[in-house]
Amino acid sequence: MRQAPVNRIAEDAVKAWKITGAIFAGVLWLITIGLFIVSYLLEFTYWIGAVGILISVLCSYLFVFLLPILRWRRWRYEVFEQEIYIQHGILIVSRTLVPMIRVQHVDTKQGPILKKYKLASVQISTAATTHEIPALLEEDASELRDRISTLARVDEDDV
């Protein structure tokens, strides 16, 4: 079996994913508060709200504290002349090889949370799907995009 890729994504990815998880958990807490208000106004049982609290606490722990760290530990990538090797996943680890000859274009993407930490994601598009290497430092993402583009172009010339 092939060794795992050697390159990791930026450590600030954990912070960005924790903020994203906190936003998601905040929405769950608002829904839980709404359930209590509806239960009070319509004189329903408070069990629905209690279940909402349980789900909100569990999701807050998972998405804010546990999953970002586990996700960062698993995410790895490596770029070779003939292929891009990507590994990710927490319970189910996925290892993907993207042949350079199949790469159609490469983009960098940056949302407001990634921009706060000067991170960007690299999207690699093939005819079938798009692969993403998330949360690289901006300079690393630009260099990786340019390198993949150059390697993919060389492969097309060889065909």
- pLDDT tens-digit readout, 100-111: 999 999 999 999
Cα–Cα dist 89/62, whole Å: 15
Percentage of residues in the chain having pLDDT higher than 90: 86
Q: Give the model confidence (pLDDT) of 10-46 as tens digits.
A: 999 999 999 999 999 999 999 999 999 998 999 888 8
Tell me the average pLDDT across 85-112: 94
CA separation for the pair 56, 64 (Å, rounded): 11
| In the chain, alpha helices (H) | 13-42, 47-60, 67-74, 112-116, 138-158
pTM of the model: 0.85
| Residue 124 β-bridge partners | 106, 131
The pLDDT of residue 73: 95
Where does 77-158 sit in CATH, by number?
2.30.29
pLDDT at residue 159, as a whole number: 43
